[in-house]
Amino acid sequence: MENNLGRFRQEINIASYAVSKGWQINQSKSDKNCTVVQRLEDGRSVETILVRKDNQKGYRYITDGDPSDRGTIVDFLVKKENFSIVEKEDWAKIFAHLNNYMGNATHVQLPPSPPKPDKDLQKQVDSFHLNMNPLTDTRYLESRGLTENSFHSPEFQGQIFNSRVYGWKNISFPLRTDEAFVCAINRSDEQNGYRKEQWNRLTNERDGAMHISNLDIFGSKKIDKLIIAESPIDTLSYLELHHKPIREKQEGNIYIATAGTPANAAYATLQKVINQTQPEKIILAFDNDNGGYRHSLNIIGQISHPNAPTSELIKGDFSCIHKKEVVLRLQMPIINAEDKLTQQKQVEDKLIKPLESKIYQGSEDTIKYSILSDSAHHQQIEIRFPYHKNYLIEAEKGLVAMKGLEGTISLEHPKQKDYNLEICRNKPFVVSQETLTKESKIIELAMNRFARPIEALAYAQSLDTKNSKVANIYLEKYTAYQEYEAPELVATIKNKDIEFRNETFKKDIATSQKQFQEQQALEKQKLIAISITDTIFKQNELVLLSTHHREDNSLECRFQTVSKTPLQAMVSNDTAFMDKINAASTDKCSVVFKQDSITLLSVPVLHESLLLGEKFVERNEQNIEKMDNTSKVELLKKDLNLKEITITDTQGEILAIADYSVKVKKDGEISVHKIEKIDLEKINQDGLDSLVIREELDKSTDERDNGYNQKQEPETIEISL
């Protein structure tokens, strides 16, 4: 509490606050050491205060004519604005009021005298902007497993740059205070190469600056979540991993990277962002190690949320004494003796007992609890416990509960060491390329990373490997303790030649290529079959329902009849035939396209099947190649009308076939040759009427033939089965 009162005294100019409440500055009586502020009624001064700033005590005021009416910003609120400080809730209101005032974007601090330009700050700002270029080279980000879903997202627009420092092209993350961009983190591996130490440098003194995502895109839209992590790579990785649900829910989120351990000024900037945006949730996404929990505990201890007023009253400070022990100090305001005992009981229930529950039997670990200071207005409690992850987790949850932030703060440490490592472990194949530096030194740069071997190989082959450049593919490995092992070189590409270094990687590539080729061939046959229908076959409308790749590498297409055909009429006219053949199957048919086979098998009892031979594929392949992708997609959606009508019995044996070949000449003339084959012996054995079957076959093929007697377009294709 004392720390926050001190911050208010130092940062809130009482003269500025008074002006925001309707007071006016008397410029003629003010000087560089003292600001004279007056409250006017009907143009006359009814009250005057003098405001000065003491280097140690901050801004203070004294009322002209009443020396007893003096003090800090809190005294001003009590005596001039009728605030109370009797109850704990009164202090919560004061803290919330002042935090809201400090975070108000329209608030302008009015100094006692016109300020002189901060030459050092301006120099930093000018230096920062001088070296910034738009983000065009994203190799480093891609080598960390990131995609345009994160680094080109609206949230990070204008917050990531390319910069050149010492001749190297880097990724630059600008850090800002509440005033301006003052410095940047430059990230690169160009100086050392892949798997060597990455280059990470601040361009100027950071002075509490942090990396903040683009706030301008939200306007008046409410903020759903504020995600806080240690580095900009971590916040980008969080967005990358959660991109799909964030977009589906249309969340408006802010991302802040503290860029290491925050300074006091950084906590103030962070609190201003919280006060301005009032996010529904604050997500702490720090690393899953002791350092990450240390950052998280300090953030929890220092920040508050407008929806939880009591969170402002309790402050926590976390520090490491040595490698084995840490200290959590709590500062809490007290109103009376009963309040003091209540707070001590809360500390015991929410922190001490949960910490003690983690001490396993036989352990020498201890939890130490002491009261450091005990005044009439506040008490400071210190808790010492082992610097171990199990205790840090309980301390996090306990501190959140102490501050009443259970519904506001969500602790989301990654499963791996950090969120970027989660991406990297899901994309273990790294493609790198050798390059020549200005100093004639060959180094290897990571270009991108992938989840599957075939993706990595395709990307490596697409790289420019001229001038003897070599592209390498590595498989990254990790120990059980989440540490890197030496990456394994699995393939090298030079001058388009591939040298495999790992047999498993080679087999995975071969399997993927075979599957791709088979699927491509099946799709091509399917496209060829459908491409002929719109030009030639106008009857027997069928709609494509679905396709299914079967285990035997065949493609099964299912169709639905949408118009009554002679075949359906035949079934309804012949009772014996309807008894022998399932009438329901006339509504659907299934065609199976066989790889390396002349015939395409049709499965249902009553069905229509299409024959595709090798010559058929060869003759019609050019027609497919001329089409653009949009046309191909449209073909897949069109009706498929069939060339062969086949009638079978319930065992699937053929009873009758009507087939024909069609030739469409360039001048549009069409010739049709009909072929009929009827198994009279089989029909008689089944007790069916062969005359009815023959008549219906004739009707079916005649109706189709009549559809070809119209003139066709000159560019129609030639088909022969």
Same domain, 555 and 648: yes
For residue 448, the SS3 value is strand
Same domain, 199 and 331: no
Residue 482 burial by Cβ neighbours in a 10 Å radius (0-12, 13-18, 19+): middle
Q: Is residue 355 in some structural domain? A: yes
Helix, strand, coil fractions of the chain, as percent rounded to 5:
35, 30, 35
Q: Is residue 389 within 8 Å of residue 290, measured between CB atoms?
A: yes
| Full residue range of the structural domain in which residue 51 is found | 2-102
For residue 71, the SS3 value is strand
Beta bridge partners of 466: none
Same domain, 545 and 662: yes
Q: Is residue 109 in some structural domain? A: no
Closest listed residue to residue 644, CA positions, set 697, 568, 682, 695: 697
Q: Is residue 258 in some structural domain? A: yes
Q: Is residue 716 in some structural domain? A: no
pLDDT at 528: 56
Domain boundary among 70, 102, 134: 102
Structural domain total, the chain: 5
pLDDT at 418: 92
To which residue do tokens 């305001």 refer? 333
Same domain, 19 and 151: no
Q: Is residue 176 in some structural domain? A: yes
Predicted TM-score (pTM) of the model is 0.59
Q: Is residue 713 in some structural domain? A: no
pLDDT tens digits for 657-707? 554 444 444 444 434 444 455 666 666 665 555 565 565 555 554 544 443
Low-confidence ranges of the chain (pLDDT < 50): 104-119, 121-128, 130, 166-167, 197, 199, 202, 532-547, 557-617, 635-645, 649-650, 659-675, 701, 703-721
Who contacts 464 (Cβ-Cβ below 8 Å, separation ≥6)? Answer: none
Who contacts 647 (Cβ-Cβ below 8 Å, separation ≥6)? Answer: 567, 581, 606, 654, 655, 656, 657, 693
The DSSP call for residue 478 is: B
Q: What amino acid is encoded at 471 in this protein?
A: A
pLDDT at 389: 92
Residue 82 burial by Cβ neighbours in a 10 Å radius (0-12, 13-18, 19+): exposed
Same domain, 274 and 319: no
pLDDT at 382: 93
Same domain, 288 and 350: no
Q: Is residue 329 within 8 Å of residue 381, measured between CB atoms?
A: yes
Same domain, 339 and 278: no
CATH number, domain with residue 339: 3.30.300
Q: Is residue 115 in some structural domain? A: no
pLDDT at 233: 95
For residue 36, the SS3 value is strand
Same domain, 552 and 701: yes
Same domain, 198 and 70: no
Domain boundary among 49, 69, 102: 102
pLDDT tens digits for 98-127? 877 775 433 444 444 434 444 454 444 444
pLDDT at 657: 58
Q: Is residue 433 in some structural domain? A: yes
Same domain, 150 and 277: yes
Who contacts 300 (Cβ-Cβ below 8 Å, separation ≥6)? Answer: 284, 316, 396, 399, 400, 403, 405, 409
CA dihedral 25, 31, 33, 37 (to 10 degrees): -20
pLDDT at 191: 55
Same domain, 35 and 141: no
Same domain, 88 and 139: no
Domain boundary among 501, 530, 550: 501
Q: How far are the Cα atoms of 159, 240, 539, 690, 697 from residue 565, in angstroms, in the given order?
A: 65, 54, 8, 19, 11
pLDDT at 78: 85
